[in-house]
């Protein structure tokens, strides 16, 4: 079996967004550890650093993006551009990638968002596996976009926000994915297209686990007659803090770990809204005052560019941190997995990107949920109302609300129950990776299905 696997090379194509790049590189490591040789195909924009992965080969696909276009400000527009601009270059290089490989290539694995790869793989008669980097529950909602539109739930109307979405309890209209793109239809079209091309693929790999999303996974198996491989949580298969686990496009500031070392257990609120979301300066100030007034210690990631029309830190009132006497710590980018696994961290105020949600679940850290767009809204609803491991920040982003919500999660009446639920899921996330566990077994079937493509 081992010998047979070493004779194969896999081509994996990554999307240049942090929340997509990380799980794809993690998947590559997992498959490498199963004996496959790996070639990563990537855009020139946000390309991964090959020096961090000496055991992989890398191949850049010219993306033709201008300086202005190479931006994550409108991730839907960026993804559309990549789907259009990378098609020809991929077609051009695929014959030599296939013929120059010393080993046969049984399949191509691409991020679901890169739907342009499906027709190209069809042309080359190369089976395509899809990596869906988000959760299965949100994907089910994406897969039902045409139905949700037919029933009038989409596009989301302000007047119906509190209405339940009949086919998707406990979602309300306000929890449905939306995205403000240059073209109002662009998000809907992108979602429908990537779902269609998933259906045309040879199988979908998920960074989730059966025990977390069994209802959605069961429904997906019924609706899509395709193999579904929930083999996550990917990052827990790799040693925390190792080169292989770090796929960060920004350099993490590790000084925050020494600061965390000095804090009491379960006392710190970790605040980060991922790699794309941005807030206004007014919202930034409400967050700052809410954190200050909560009386809890906090570690806050203020990513460059994450405050619209502002440089960031300079928008803080003068002496803000100093006046807190060491109770607050701010970094531009954190080693998030390490932070979440630190015993001082008591809650994660998150935008509920899927990676952040999963990373929090895996460490048993309760969440304060503040979704911005796309799948984040569904993830936040599941975290707060289905898994019951967090509380959604309700109403406006306002300092009093922030203070109240932090207290609710850290010290309120329901705080213990939330923490217990989180610890319970942490155990499940760990058990599924052990021999005989669900993700362990699905990975075995994935590997054997990949090998069967080659025979």
For residue 439 the two structure tokens come to 């993700």
Question: Closest distance between ligand UDX and the C-beta of residue 180, in Å?
Answer: 13
* Minimum CB distance to ligand UDX smaller for 211 or for 253: 253
Alpha helix ranges (H) inside 105-171? 117-123, 136-143, 145-150
* Minimum CB distance to ligand UDX smaller for 334 or for 422: 334
From the number of C-beta atoms within 10 Å of its C-beta (0-12, 13-18, 19+), residue 253 rates as: middle
Element (H, E) at 33: helix 18-33
* Minimum CB distance to ligand UDX smaller for 79 or for 294: 79
Alpha helix ranges (H) inside 86-135? 87-100, 117-123
Element (H, E) at 39: strand 37-43
* Minimum CB distance to ligand UDX smaller for 197 or for 359: 359
Question: Closest distance between ligand UDX and the C-beta of residue 274, in Å?
Answer: 3
Question: Closest distance between ligand UDX and the C-beta of residue 247, in Å?
Answer: 8
* Minimum CB distance to ligand UDX smaller for 48 or for 274: 274
130 three-state secondary structure = strand
Question: Closest distance between ligand UDX and the C-beta of residue 271, in Å?
Answer: 10
Question: Closest distance between ligand UDX and the C-beta of residue 17, in Å?
Answer: 6
Query: Residue for token digits 């399949």?
Result: 107
* Minimum CB distance to ligand UDX smaller for 252 or for 290: 252
Question: Closest distance between ligand UDX and the C-beta of residue 84, in Å?
Answer: 20
Residues 6+ apart with CB under 8 A from 299: 256, 259, 260, 268, 269, 270, 271, 328, 329, 330, 331, 334, 339, 345
* Minimum CB distance to ligand UDX smaller for 118 or for 246: 246
Asked if residue 87 lies in contact with residue 120, where contact means CB atoms within 8 angstroms, the answer is yes
Angle at 289 between CA 361 and CA 18, to 5 degrees: 40
Binding residues for ligand UDX, per CB under 6 A?
A: 17-20, 22, 133-134, 248, 252, 272, 274-277, 301, 333-334, 336-337, 353-356, 359, 374-376
Question: Closest distance between ligand UDX and the C-beta of residue 190, in Å?
Answer: 13
Alpha helix ranges (H) inside 132-183? 136-143, 145-150
Question: Closest distance between ligand UDX and the C-beta of residue 299, in Å?
Answer: 10
> How many angstroms separate the CA atoms of 387 and 385, rounded?
6
* Minimum CB distance to ligand UDX smaller for 24 or for 374: 374
* Minimum CB distance to ligand UDX smaller for 27 or for 301: 301
Asked if residue 185 lies in contact with residue 155, where contact means CB atoms within 8 angstroms, the answer is no
Helices and strands in the chain, H and E counts? 18, 13
Strands 345-350 and 367-369 turn out to be parallel
C-alpha separations of 97 from 43, 110, 175 in Å: 16, 15, 43
For residue 154 the two structure tokens come to 């989409």
How many CA within 13 A on the CB side of residue 444?
10
Question: Closest distance between ligand UDX and the C-beta of residue 272, in Å?
Answer: 4
């Amino acid at each position: 079996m081992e010998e047979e696997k070493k004779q194969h090379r896999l081509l994996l194509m990554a999307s240049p967004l942090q929340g997509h790049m990380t799980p794809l590189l993690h998947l590559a490591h997992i498959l490498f550890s199963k004996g496959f040789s790996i070639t990563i195909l990537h855009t020139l924009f946000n390309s991964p650093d090959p020096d961090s992965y000496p055991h992989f080969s890398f191949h850049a696909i010219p993306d033709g993006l201008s300086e202005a276009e190479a931006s994550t400000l409108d991730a839907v527009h960026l993804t559309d551009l990549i789907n259009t601009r990378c098609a020809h270059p991929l077609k051009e290089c695929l014959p030599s990638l296939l013929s120059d490989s010393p080993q046969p290539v049984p399949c191509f694995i691409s991020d679901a968002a890169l739907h342009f790869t499906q027709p190209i793989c069809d042309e080359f008669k190369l089976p395509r596996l899809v990596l869906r980097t988000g959760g299965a529950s949100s994907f089910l909602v994406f897969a039902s976009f045409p139905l949700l539109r037919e029933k009038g739930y989409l596009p989301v109307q302000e007047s119906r926000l509190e209405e339940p979405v009949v086919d998707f309890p406990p979602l309300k209209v306000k929890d449905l994915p939306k995205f403000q793109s240059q073209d109002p239809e662009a998000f809907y079209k992108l979602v429908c297209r990537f779902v269609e091309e998933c259906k045309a693929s040879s199988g979908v790999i998920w960074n989730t686990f059966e025990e977390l999303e069994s209802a959605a996974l069961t429904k997906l198996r019924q609706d899509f007659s395709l193999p579904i491989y929930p083999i996550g949580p990917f990052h827990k298969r790799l040693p925390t803090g190792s080169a292989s686990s770090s796929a960060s496009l920004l350099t993490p500031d590790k000084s925050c770990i020494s600061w965390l070392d000095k804090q009491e257990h379960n006392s710190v609120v970790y605040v980060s809204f991922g790699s794309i979301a941005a807030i206004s300066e007014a919202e930034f100030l409400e967050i700052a005052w809410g954190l200050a007034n909560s009386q809890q210690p906090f570690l806050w990631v203020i990513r460059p560019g994450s405050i619209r029309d502002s440089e960031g830190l300079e928008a803080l009132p003068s002496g803000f941190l100093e006046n807190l006497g060491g109770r607050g710590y701010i970094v531009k980018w954190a080693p998030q997995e390490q932070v979440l696994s630190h015993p001082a961290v008591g809650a994660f105020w998150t935008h509920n990107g899927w990676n952040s949600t999963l990373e929090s679940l895996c460490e048993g850290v309760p969440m304060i949920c503040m979704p911005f767009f796309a799948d984040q809204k569904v993830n936040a609803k599941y975290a707060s109302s289905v898994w019951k491991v967090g509380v959604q920040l309700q109403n406006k982003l306002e300092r009093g609300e922030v203070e109240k919500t932090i207290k609710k999660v850290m010290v309120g009446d329901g705080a213990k129950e939330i923490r217990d639920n989180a610890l319970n899921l942490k155990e499940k996330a760990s058990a599924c990776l052990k021999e005989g566990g669900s993700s362990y077994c699905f990975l075995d079937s994935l590997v054997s299905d990949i090998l069967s493509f080659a025979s």
